[in-house]
Amino acid sequence: MEKKSIDWSNLGFGYIQTDKRYVSHYKDGAWDAGMLTEDANITINECACVLQYAQTVFEGLKAYTTQDGRIVTFRPDLNAQRLASSAQRLEMPVFPQERFIDAVEQTVKANAAYVPPYGSGATLYIRPYMFGSNAVIGVKPADEYQFRVFTTPVGPYFKGGAKPITLRVSDLDRAAPHGTGNIKAGLNYAMSLHTLMDAHRQGYDENMFLDPATHTKVEETGGANFLFITKDGKVVTPKSDSILPSITRRSLVHVAKAYLGLEVEERSVLFSEVKDFAECGLCGTAAVISPVGRIVDHDEVITFPSGMEQMGPTIQKLYDTLTGIQMGMIEAPEGWIHEIQ
Ligand code: PLP
Ligand code: COI
């Protein structure tokens, strides 16, 4: 199969329309058989629940070309499970896990010409999502839904790739205590847009959100979880009910312990501790592991000893091991790599 002529190594994290996408409709209490379509546009009623009351949830995963030329995805079963919990929280019907994986496979296969070649630094981002599609004007869940999957080739989420970024602590929250911070719902991202754009206008790359109840503990950014490295080489990652359970973070905890022999603490992390860490990174499907060089909280500026030029040594090891597993250079734990046949 001939690849599309795309300048893979200069791709940013943007939307490029690919050839086919998957769609399944839910009506009268059941999902239909689902199919691929070439139509990238959706026509829905003006009063659709998604448009009026934001009843929508999504996932994000990637397809990679391995060193030996296979196309693989990373732990798609966990994305299927997380989409199911997101859907349940917003009173939406669950799209069955086996069908989720089949839909991802069909969509990636149909767009194989857009899966970036091994070594290009780019990947095919896969976006499964669901929304309430019929008209509701009183506040209630929809009765009809669409589950869809599209793909788009992407490069690094943050401009500059492996260069450390600068965060500022946001005064606004993205999630409420006991709210929806732990699911992947569009509404959480709408909540973050104003403070994200404000951060950009002030010259920062992203926000660090603190816990919404007390503003003393580290939560996450708008699109990734945190990893910190202590001066004695331990990995510390925040635990909270209002952050997204990142699949990358859960995988890195295992990689740190089982592949690198590092000690890992998953616990509440006070913002007051942050100045004592040696390294900091953001982890997620889009972010992979992006190094953080500096965090600004009003007058307080924290610059990590790893500096603004390169990733710290432990974050680098985690990055190399994880991407080595994803690209097939390092043997993966059982069930982590899902080949698209
Ligand atoms: N936190 C938020 C708010 C996210 O949007 C994402 C992206 O999916 C993550 C964390 C990272 O999660 P994952 O590693 O499963 O992609
Ligand atoms: C991801 O990492 O998949 C994300 O969803 C982050 C962002 C693009 C929303």
CATH code at position 297: 3.20.10.10
242 shares its domain with 180 = yes
142 shares its domain with 171 = no
CB atoms within 10 A of CB 276: 10
φ, ψ for residue 30 (rounded to 5)? -145, 150
Q: What is the pLDDT of residue 161?
A: 73
pTM recorded for the entire structure = 0.97
242 shares its domain with 129 = no
Residue 225 CB less than 6 A away from ligand 1: yes
* Domain end call among 132, 154, 176: 154
Low-confidence ranges of the chain (pLDDT < 50): none
Q: Pocket residues for ligand 2 (CB within 6 Å)?
A: 60, 223, 284-286
Is residue 336 included in any domain, yes or no? Answer: no
Q: CB within 8 A of 180, min separation 6: which ones?
A: 89, 90, 187, 188
Is residue 221 included in any domain, yes or no? Answer: yes
Whether the Cβ atoms of residue 81 and residue 106 lie closer than 8 Å to each other: no
121 shares its domain with 30 = yes
Predicted confidence (pLDDT) per residue in 207-234, tens digit? 999 999 999 999 999 999 999 999 999 9
Pocket mutation for ligand 1, best pick of 183, 184, 336 (most atoms within 8 Å of C-beta): 184
| Distance (Å) from CA 29 to ligand 1 centroid | 30
Residue 123 CB less than 6 A away from ligand 1: no
* Domain end call among 130, 154, 178: 154
φ, ψ for residue 14 (rounded to 5)? -135, 175
- H/E stretch holding 227 reads strand 225-229
Predicted confidence (pLDDT) per residue in 301-339, tens digit? 999 999 999 999 999 999 999 999 999 999 999 999 999
144 shares its domain with 52 = yes
Residue numbers of the domain that contains 110? 8-154
Residues 258, 262, 268, 273: what is their CA dihedral angle, to the nearest 10 degrees? -160
Among 168, 267, 170, 175, smallest CA distance to 212 is for 175
143 shares its domain with 216 = no
Residue 206 CB less than 6 A away from ligand 1: no
82 shares its domain with 138 = yes
CB atoms within 10 A of CB 188: 23
For atom 5 of ligand 2, which residue has the closest CA?
60
* Domain end call among 126, 154, 182: 154
| Domains contained in the chain, number | 2
Is residue 50 included in any domain, yes or no? Answer: yes
CA distance 32 to 288: 34
Residue 170 CB less than 6 A away from ligand 1: no
